[in-house]
Amino acid sequence: MKLRIKKIKSSEQHDTCRFLTICICNKKPWVRYRNNRQPPSRHAGYSPAGMARTKCCGPPSLLTAGNACRTRPDRHARTEVPPPATPHHASCKKRSITGCSRQQGQHDCNMRIVGKRRNIHVFLACLLVTGAVFLFFTVFLESPSALPEDPLATTPAWTRDALIPLHPAALPEANDKTRLGERLFFDKRLSGNNTIACASCHDPERGGTDRLAVSSGVDNRQGSINSPTVFNASLHFAQFWDGRADTLEAQAVGPIHNPVEMASGWPEIIDRLSADPAYRSAFAGLYPEGISATAILDAIASYERTLLTPNSRFDRFLDGDERILTPLELTGYRRFLDYGCASCHQGVALGGNMYQRFGVMQDYFAGRPVSPSDLGRYNVTGKEEDRHVFKVPSLRNIAVTAPYFHDASAGTLEEAVAVMGSYQLGRELGSEDIRSLSAFLRTMTGEWRGKRLQ
Our measurement of the distance from residue 403's CA atom to the centroid of its chain's CA atoms, rounded to an integer in Å, reads 18
**Torsion (CA) 251, 255, 259, 260 in degrees, nearest 10:** 120
Our measurement of the distance from residue 393's CA atom to the centroid of its chain's CA atoms, rounded to an integer in Å, reads 11
Cα four-point dihedral sign 214, 313, 149, 157: positive
Q: Which amino acid is at 307?
A: L
Query: Which residues are 452's β-sheet partners?
Result: 447
Helix (H) or strand (E) holding 159: helix 157-162
Q: Of residues 80, 182, 261, 329, which has the active-site annotation?
A: 261
Q: Is the omega angle on the peptide bond into residue 403 within 30 degrees of 0, that is, cis?
A: yes
d(CA 1, CA 220): 81
C-alpha closest to that of 337 among 154, 166, 165: 154
C-alpha closest to that of 24 among 62, 58, 50: 62
Does residue 142 have an active-site annotation? Answer: no
d(CA 335, CA 184): 43
> How does DSSP assign 328-366, residue by residue?
HHHHHHHHHHHTTGGGTS-BTTTS-SSEEES-SSS-TTT
d(CA 391, CA 413): 19
Q: Do 131 and 106 form a contact (C-beta atoms < 8 A)?
A: no
Q: Do 426 and 361 form a contact (C-beta atoms < 8 A)?
A: yes
Our measurement of the distance from residue 327's CA atom to the centroid of its chain's CA atoms, rounded to an integer in Å, reads 17
> How does DSSP assign 52-119, residue by residue?
---B-SS-HHHHHTT--------TT-----PPPSS-------TTSSS---TTBTTB--EE---GGGHH
Using CA atoms, how far residue 34 sits from 71, 76, 275, 438, in Å, is 12, 9, 83, 39
C-alpha closest to that of 190 among 162, 218, 214: 218
Catalytic residues: 261
